Amino acid sequence: MKISLKWLQDYVDLADFFAKPEELARLLTSAGLEVESISDQAKQFQHVVVGHILEKGVHPNADRLSLCQVSTGDGVVHQIVCGAQNHKSGDRVVVALPGAILPGDFAIKQAKVRGVESGGMLCSEKELGLSTEGDGIVILPSDAPVGRGFAEYRGLNDVLFEIKVTPNRADCLSHRGLALEIGCLLGREVRAPKTELRRVAGAAGDVSVEIQAADLGPRYAGRLVRRVKVGPSPDWLRQRLENVGLKSINNVVDITNYVMMELGQPMHAFDTRELRGRGLIVARAVAGESFVTLDGTELKLDGTELTIRDRERTVALAGVVGGKNSGVSESTTEIFLESAYFRPSAVRRTLRKFGFETDSGYRFSRGVNPEGARLALDRATALVVEIAGGEAAAEAVDVYPSPLERAEIRVSLKWMEERLGYSVEAHDFETWMKRLGAEFRVLTPGDYLVIAPSHRPDLLIDADLLEEFARLQGYDRIPEKLPKLDTAPASHDAEYLGERRARRTLAGLGILQALNYAFLGDRAQKEFVGEARGWRDVGLHMDDEDVRILNPLNEEINVMRRALTPALYRNALHNFRNGERVGRLFEIGRSFHRRTRARSEKFAGTEFGEESRVAFCFWGGETDLWGRKEAAPPAMRLKSDLESFLRALGVTGWSWRKLDSKPSVAHPGQAAGLVLRGHLVGFIATVHPLRLEEDKFRTPVAIGELALASILEVAGLRRFQPFSAFPPVDRDVALVMSREVSAGAVAESFQRAAKRLASEGGDWLRSVEIFDVFEGSALGDGKKSVAYRLMFQSLEASLDDARVNSLRDKIVQDVCSAHDVAVR
């Protein structure tokens, strides 16, 4: 909200702040009315003067630019390049000379524009910060004095504050409201608005008012003014409105806006000759009725909206916008001024329903002063009579069948002390309540009954008064203490601890953590995810359909993510394109799905599920020492990192499974599922070559996505395991098998066989490692040879060769009978 210091000065004496507006800003900010910016017009328009275009020529190097010779009355002729088209020789214009700093920190300098010297700028309203639109430069009247400072010429010696008013402080959305606040803070007297009529009122009014929906519109006041002359507003009025960001329309409309900006009471003016009948009704709309707003928008009403109606139809949406059918026009001669109180919730519903944002609706929906309607009406009437002529009806109409009751708030100083943490003196409390304009009664010493002033409808309960007192005293009065801790702290959330441990472990493995949005575009998601079934079949929760956002910002982020890898893969591609040939990323976050709850549960119907996931994307092959060895595929790196991760978490007993059904983005021959406690909990895979080709991702890429909770669930406690003091014995076994046989499954089979042979020393088998794999014509078509190294070690004794060999033979025999493999 823009506030003019000159306007405030009408109501409270702030002459001492014109030279130091930043001090007033500090005062307001520390009282909770944050001043976002201050613009001091006098400073703003230094080096901006009225100029005279002596000659308008064409720029030698640019058809669209003009080259003007401009006099600024000091005998110097300034050559200025200008891009606008609306000026001609002889025009009086606004010239910003070098040294001027226009709004938006735009410094004007002597410069060359397309090779021609330009010593300043001819300004538009927009460049001067006086309006938000307008392309052409300002053309001043031909009698504008050349050389005069622009601020002086336009009477721009005001200071304007941009104030961020919080939703509870609707009372500060006007100049007098803010004057009351400042008066309270500084202890200065606040003047009343001038409401006396310049001319004695005319005949009695004959426009009646009836309230049929007092629940939504408790008060409606108005006054008929005859024989008004609609026309342009006087300069001072136009200036004040423009200063606070409103456009001048005509004198009557400007007055209604002026009173709103001055007193915070939104007003409306009807052209009574356009009304059907001589009566207005405050009532709900008729369902199905259509209504055209002042600016020509046609709306369909459903009967819940609060409206102002004449005998036949809606003439205004109460508190939101007037109707085209009854608005003030150039030919209007008789008006009915409206000043009402509508319920904030009623106005807000209408605003939301039609997506309106009007100054009037903004104020009503935050709560105007219900007792302020009459004052505003009198002020507006006085201004209309003064500015637009006319004759006010002898009496105003004011229908207010059941006046709103103000809250009686009981509060004690002790209660306040407990919550503020410092001692509250009765004298201080009473002083502030008086300055605030509250009525109060001492029930017993230190115990009060307070009624807040009607312009502060936000003060309803003791806690509101507590804040009000603390705020007026200044928050700097609050000391610093620490609350006593006399119960044992609770434990951290298990999910947080698990995720934190996972994050730290993965970062410790040299992987970088990415963090993506929880939503993405439905098309991108569909394209990457493919059939949901492939994801479900690897143990991940995934719906066929997206969880959609009803009101997305754009199509790039319109659904919740069903998987983390789509975005992570994009991150990898972005990095690859930026020169990162090799990289490893992980992300921990949630995926979303829908689930249907039983009716017996707390929230029946559709609910949403969130699965905690860990996802990976590795790309590029890491070579060993200066490219001496062939690069390992990223999927193998991912597998070993994932196993290191599991080991670090204390997970035991995992295995890998070849996948029949898997996400379509996976390379069909390079994918594996992780099995924990008999269940698939996710997958790793090389990304399908077609996908990489399409993205011109010219290096191998691996992805992985797993249900993190399923991993953390089996993450073990760390318990000490004894180990052997006797020497280990290695035995190598090479097996020939078909290419399709899973070498890993065979390795597990060694372990299983050893377990079965426990009575014959099977528990000596400490590890099974694959140390060589090769394929060659000597083996036969489609065959491979896999070499396993079995390490035997006993906890109790040194092993002798004969017993180890016999055990090995039995194990190998067992493995050979379980798989289609043979000893080479």
| Pick from 566, 569, 712, 568: nearest CA to 645 | 712
Rg (CA), the chain: 40
Main-chain dihedrals φ then ψ at residue 765, nearest 5 degrees: -70, 110
Nearer to other proteins (CB atom), residue 169 or residue 456: 169
- Determine the 3-state secondary structure of 140 from DSSP: strand
- Rounded least distance, CB 650 to other proteins, Å: 20
Check binding of 456 to other proteins (CB under 8 A).
Answer: no
- Member of 215, 418, 730, 809 binding other proteins (CB under 8 A): 418
Main-chain dihedrals φ then ψ at residue 388, nearest 5 degrees: -105, 15
Nearer to other proteins (CB atom), residue 405 or residue 486: 486
Write out the two tokens for 472.
């007026």
Q: How far apart are CA 27 and CA 556, in angstroms?
A: 44
Choose the stretch contacting other proteins; rule: CB under 8 A; options: 110-118, 382-390, 500-508, 794-802: 500-508
- Rounded least distance, CB 26 to other proteins, Å: 10
- Member of 46, 69, 131, 168 binding other proteins (CB under 8 A): 168
Tell me the Ramachandran region of residue 624: left when phi exceeds 0, alpha when psi lies from -120 to 50, beta otherwise.
beta
Look at strands 397-399 and 219-226 and give their pairing. Answer: antiparallel
Q: How far apart are CA 266 and CA 308, in angstroms?
A: 14
Check binding of 304 to other proteins (CB under 8 A).
Answer: no
Full DSSP string of 522-560:
HHHHHHHH--HHHHHTTT----SS--B-SS-SSGGG-EE
Check binding of 178 to other proteins (CB under 8 A).
Answer: no
Size of site (CB under 8 A) for other proteins = 94
- Rounded least distance, CB 486 to other proteins, Å: 8
- Rounded least distance, CB 461 to other proteins, Å: 7
Nearer to other proteins (CB atom), residue 352 or residue 647: 352
Q: How far apart are CA 171 and CA 192, in angstroms?
A: 16
Check binding of 276 to other proteins (CB under 8 A).
Answer: no
Check binding of 608 to other proteins (CB under 8 A).
Answer: yes
Write out the two tokens for 134.
């307008």
Nearer to other proteins (CB atom), residue 250 or residue 644: 644
Check binding of 508 to other proteins (CB under 8 A).
Answer: yes
Q: Are 269 and 253 in contact (CB under 8 A)?
A: yes
Nearer to other proteins (CB atom), residue 311 or residue 352: 352
- Member of 482, 598, 717, 802 binding other proteins (CB under 8 A): 482
- Member of 295, 355, 444, 496 binding other proteins (CB under 8 A): 496
Check binding of 349 to other proteins (CB under 8 A).
Answer: yes
Check binding of 166 to other proteins (CB under 8 A).
Answer: yes
Q: In the 8-state DSSP scheme, what is residue 106?
A: E
Check binding of 424 to other proteins (CB under 8 A).
Answer: no
Choose the stretch contacting other proteins; rule: CB under 8 A; options: 120-128, 264-272, 346-354, 696-704: 346-354
522 contact partners, CB below 8 Å, separation of at least 6: 546, 548, 555, 558, 559
- Rounded least distance, CB 712 to other proteins, Å: 14
Look at strands 583-597 and 512-513 and give their pairing. Answer: parallel
- Rounded least distance, CB 137 to other proteins, Å: 30
- Rounded least distance, CB 159 to other proteins, Å: 19
- Member of 2, 9, 27, 34 binding other proteins (CB under 8 A): 34
Nearer to other proteins (CB atom), residue 130 or residue 502: 502
First to last CA, the chain: 87
Residue ranges in 653-712 that form contacts with other proteins under rule CB under 8 A: none
Nearer to other proteins (CB atom), residue 19 or residue 625: 625
Check binding of 547 to other proteins (CB under 8 A).
Answer: yes
Main-chain dihedrals φ then ψ at residue 37, nearest 5 degrees: -160, 155
Cα distances from 98 to residues 92, 110, 117, 148, 266, in angstroms, run: 19, 6, 12, 16, 43
Nearer to other proteins (CB atom), residue 272 or residue 710: 710
Residue ranges in 326-345 that form contacts with other proteins under rule CB under 8 A: 344-345
Nearer to other proteins (CB atom), residue 316 or residue 470: 470
Check binding of 615 to other proteins (CB under 8 A).
Answer: no
C-alpha 57: how far from chain center: 49
Check binding of 31 to other proteins (CB under 8 A).
Answer: yes
Check binding of 435 to other proteins (CB under 8 A).
Answer: no
- Member of 73, 90, 403, 421 binding other proteins (CB under 8 A): 421
Q: How far apart are CA 397 and CA 553, in angstroms?
A: 47
**Amino acid at the residue 224:** L
**Amino acid at the residue 622:** E
- Determine the 3-state secondary structure of 115 from DSSP: coil
- Determine the 3-state secondary structure of 238 from DSSP: helix
Q: Are 158 and 6 in contact (CB under 8 A)?
A: yes
Residue ranges in 555-584 that form contacts with other proteins under rule CB under 8 A: 557, 560, 568, 571, 574-575, 578, 580, 582-584
Check binding of 471 to other proteins (CB under 8 A).
Answer: yes
Residues 353-372, one symbol each (x = binds other proteins by CB under 8 A, - = not), give ------------xx------
233 contact partners, CB below 8 Å, separation of at least 6: 241, 248, 250, 251, 254, 255, 387
Check binding of 548 to other proteins (CB under 8 A).
Answer: yes
Main-chain dihedrals φ then ψ at residue 459, nearest 5 degrees: -90, 100
Q: How far apart are CA 332 and CA 231, in angstroms?
A: 10
